[in-house]
Amino acid sequence: MSQQVKKTVIIQNKLGLHARAATKLAKLTHKFDARVAIVQDGREVDASSVMCLLLLASGQGKEIDIVARGPEAQPAVDAIAALIEARFDEDA
């Protein structure tokens, strides 16, 4: 049976989920044996797709849910949450 893990985080970096941040997030999802989605305001998108992430238009202060399903769901959610909480390793 596939495990599902969910965590709510807040976008903290100044520019929100812009192209560079979305690319980092999408690349990170590929490192795990899990299907990862980002949910914002009831809309769920595939976290491995930069275009889908950009369409969410997540700005600073937006609350999102990271939802992962699969054998590595927990480490995937933990890694993505850490990336977001680290402001995508950006200065601002």
Mean pLDDT score, 2-8: 91
pLDDT band, very low/low/confident/very high, at 89 (cuts 50, 70, 90): confident
Q: Distance between CA 87 and CA 43 in Å, rounded? A: 22
Active-site residue (options: 4, 7, 18, 48): 18
CATH architecture, range 4-89: 2-Layer Sandwich (3.30)
Q: Strand 63-69's sheet: what is its strand order?
A: 4-10, 63-69, 35-40, 43-46
Task: Write the pLDDT tens digit of every residue in 29-41.
Answer: 999 999 999 999 9
Task: Write the pLDDT tens digit of every residue in 6-61.
Answer: 999 999 999 999 999 999 999 999 999 999 999 999 999 999 999 999 999 999 99
Verify whether residue 18 is a known catalytic residue: yes
> Any idea where the domains of the chain sit in the sequence?
4-89
Q: pTM for this one?
A: 0.94
